[in-house]
Amino acid sequence: MKIVIPTYGRPEGKIDALENGWIPQSFYKRVYVCIRRDVSEMERYKKITVDYPGVNLVPIDVPKDSGIPEKRDAICRHWMFENQKIWMMDDDIKIVPCHITDEKDYVIKEKELSEESFYDLINYSIGLLEDMPFGVIATATFVKGKDIFPIGLNRWGAFSSFINLEKLSADDLGYTKVRYYEDIAAFCGAIKKGFNNFYITKWQLVIGKEKEGGNASARKADVMQEAAIALNKLYPQHIRLVDMKDKTHNRKINLKVIPKGVPKHVKDLENNSVQITDFML
């Protein structure tokens, strides 16, 4: 498994996913920070390999005016990741372990991820990727108890995706079919190829705060709406257009992802064990 972190234009080249400290130093040699092959970007991120010895800085050939979808697509085509199992994540996330209490609430178990728990997650995801070549980590909570399927944006691959590039190609994933919501395009692309996707809930993804750089330039109302319409046309059985309000970020919500055949209940919750929900065709 390789951790792959696409990044662009972050202030002072800071990568929260590394600064948060949840990725252990013993894994740094398998962490790849991917930037556009550009003098300014090389200068911006030049301290990464000094501050985090072992971490790899990988220049990716993408057009100067390209966005994150093109960078994700280029990563999946790159010889360094070809036929590999990768964990492609946003540069500002954090992972923490969690469990289900007797009261059936889904809670964070610890504030920090131990090295042992990190490797448990890595090894578990490697096993899942053999049968299901695309999967995600939860951002959700069981607001109504463990028997109700959790509501969570990251069911659809946002912020963090496990991918087996032995079984899914860049063309299969289709990141560049849209200018925004590209992770949702990849999620649906895996289903279209006939695979089930997995959703891990023993660990929880903490979303970083929005800031300059990254995909911020594409986070515009017209671009987001255009992408939603495109996804609805590509995958009408999974994508529904809506007109809702995101009060947290004061912007419009354009779509809902409702994959055909998604089970209504969470499986394998006995004894607070690792949980997984398959997204069926």
Between 86-90, 113-117, 277-281, the lowest mean confidence (pLDDT) is in 277-281
> What pairs with residue 251 in β-bridges?
246
Arithmetic mean of pLDDT over the chain: 80
pLDDT of residue 215: 57
The predicted model gives 121-135 an average pLDDT of 91
Beta-strand ranges (E) seen in 14-93 are 31-36, 56-60, 85-89
- Scored b (16 or more CB within 10 A) or e, 215-252 reads beebeeeebbbebbebbeebbeebbeeeeeeeeeeeee
Rounded to 5 degrees, φ, ψ at 162 are: -90, 130
List the one residue out of 237, 235, 253 whose CA is nearest residue 245. 253
pLDDT at residue 151 tops 60: no
- Tens-place pLDDT, residues 172-217: 999 999 988 899 899 889 888 888 788 787 788 887 765 555 555 5
Q: pLDDT exceeding 90 applies to what percent of the chain?
A: 45
- Tens-place pLDDT, residues 16-52: 999 999 999 999 999 999 999 999 999 999 999 999 9
Q: pLDDT exceeding 70 applies to what percent of the chain?
A: 75
